[in-house]
Amino acid sequence: MSSAVWAAPSSVVRPDSHVRGRIVDVLVLVGFVAAGVLLYRDLWWHLDSGYLAYAGQDQNMWEWFFAVTAENVLTLSNPLHTDLQNFPLGVNLMANTAMLGFGVPLTPVTVLFGPTVTWTLTLSGGIAATAFAWYWLLSRYIVDGRGAAVLGASVAAFAPPIVSHANAHPNFVVLLVIPLLVHRLVLLARGERPVHHGVILGLLAAFQVFVGEESLLIAAVAMVVFAVVYALSRPAEVAAMVRPMATGVAVGGAVAAVLVAVPLWWQFAGPQSYQGIEHGLNGNDLAAFTAYASNSLAGSEESAVELSMNRTEENAFFGWPLILVLVAVTVALWRVALARAVAVSMFVMAWISMGVLLVVHGEGTSIPGPWMALYDAPLLDAVLESRFALACAPLAGILLAMATQRVLGLRWQAEWRHFAQVSWCGALVVALVPIMPMALPVGARDEVPEFFASGQWQNHVRDGRAVTIVPLPSAGYADPLHWQVDQGLEFRLSEGYFVGPGEDGGGVYGAQRTPTSELLAEVDETGMATTVGEAEREQAVEDLRYWHSDVVALRDDHPNVVPLRATVEQLLGNSGRQQGGMWIWNTTSLTQPSGN
């Protein structure tokens, strides 16, 4: 069993041509698809008006990414850049989580049905496909029973940390490429056709770069830890793997490098690129691992509040029963090299995710973690360290699948075998039922203002010019991106919600603020109009010219419409007019006084 994952195909990979086996696979796939749809059932039911309740502004941003990607494909434009927001500088799409690997092939869906359908399909279909990919890997290479494989795959794809990101981050949900990468590495470890499998490995890695680089990096760290532990456990066995693995990985690296060289250059050195992004120190609290996530059956609205950043970053909430089961499985299977390497990798990834110093129930300690040596390493410095715990989900799934298979295959006397199997099933029920995900809550999306929905804006904005929304779009206010998508991306926006370069070259969320956008953001935050002098008015004109703005628009039901309107009136010297649910100020005469 210790080397089962590396065994010859005849002993592990059973060429299952039986109709019954194929039917089981189809039923498993249908089951995972149903689970994915049920998780997003309210979003599917309200595609015209639904918005994931805990997505913040991310659903607006992701739908905008899908819409812009489709637009670039249809117009044969550069898929790595757009100037539809943050005009005139634009947005480096490769330096954002635009998920081009799915946005490009799903262009027909986006064009025919809209980006909300693409968003919903990517999330629900992606989590189902990820579960099935883990099931396929487990059932063919790690365990003999399909039931154990279903169990492990369900944990790998639907664990609470993954479901937490399912509120807003498809790049941490759609992870089907990861088990496919593991599959190729297994084949290379067995010495099978290193060049052939190396090429496929490179193609898969390149594709994952266009799906989610951060998840690929986290998976790579987990694989390195696994490889080190397994090599220390079975040095003689690993020695025979070195050459084919080295060949395959080298070939894969070369293939991937050719495919991603230009996109990565654009990401790190192209227009609107940046050098890393500072998240601060955000390790997981040790207590989070034994607590229940907000969206778990045993969780509640408040169960994770004190131990997580927000509803989309509950990266470590596995519940105390599952943690106890995983510890017990680790002890029981410690002599099995594969299980030991998986378990150590799981605990190391959890340890890394706790940050530079261990924190327990909000109380800091002096116990250092591996992150203290890694937080400023190249590439890793842009990762939110608490997310390393996401790797624990598939590793836990593998352990549970292996343990389940061993319990079901016990050769003890009947009464003891039945007792062990019933006990194990009971432990699984106690550990897994409380963390079962609930359907993600969905709220009603605000309607697009009539000024945009009816196309009235077209009478105010010329080709190649921009609309300036007040307050300007940002990480906290991205509704204007939805308005823009609703109008077929036919106008450009000043500033916006994306990741771009800050003044120091590091990444920031949103555009670099101008004095005028900073002033308006302050008014919106405080709810109080500010005194405007001649200097502020001159600066406003300068900024409007910089934005190539033809019109300034403020929603008339914005929470802070009164102070914002008063401030804009002072900046522009006129009261504007109400039209289509917006306050409108035409700025053509200010930005182009010559009439050009």
d(CA 2, CA 9): 16
What global pTM score does this model have? Answer: 0.93
CA angle 401, 22, 420 (to 5 degrees): 30
Residue for token pair 């360290």? 385
Helix (H, G, I), strand (E, B) or coil at 297: coil
Sorted by sequence, the CB contacts under 8 Å of residue 102 that are 6+ apart come out as 122, 126, 170, 174, 211
pLDDT of residue 517: 97
Digit-coded pLDDT (tens) for 350-397 = 999 999 999 999 999 999 999 999 988 888 888 899 999 999 999 999
Percent of the chain with pLDDT over 90: 87
pLDDT of residue 593: 52
pLDDT of residue 591: 80
State the pairing for strand pair 91-92/81-82. Answer: antiparallel
d(CA 288, CA 524): 35
Residues 300-309, mean pLDDT to the nearest whole number: 93
Q: What are phi and psi of 76, to 5 degrees?
A: 55, 40
Average pLDDT across the chain, whole number: 94
Sorted by sequence, the CB contacts under 8 Å of residue 87 that are 6+ apart come out as 466, 492, 493, 494, 547, 548
pLDDT at 10 over 80: no
d(CA 130, CA 397): 13
pLDDT at 12 over 60: no
Number of alpha carbons in the 13 Å side-chain half-sphere of residue 323:
15
Digit-coded pLDDT (tens) for 320-362 = 999 999 999 999 999 999 999 999 999 999 999 999 999 999 9
Confidence of residue 1 (pLDDT cuts 50, 70, 90): very low
- Cα→Cα distances 487→114, 453, 457, 527, Å: 11, 7, 10, 30
pLDDT at 123 over 50: yes
Digit-coded pLDDT (tens) for 244-268 = 999 999 999 999 999 999 999 999 9
Digit-coded pLDDT (tens) for 432-484 = 999 999 999 999 999 999 999 999 999 999 998 999 999 999 999 999 999 99
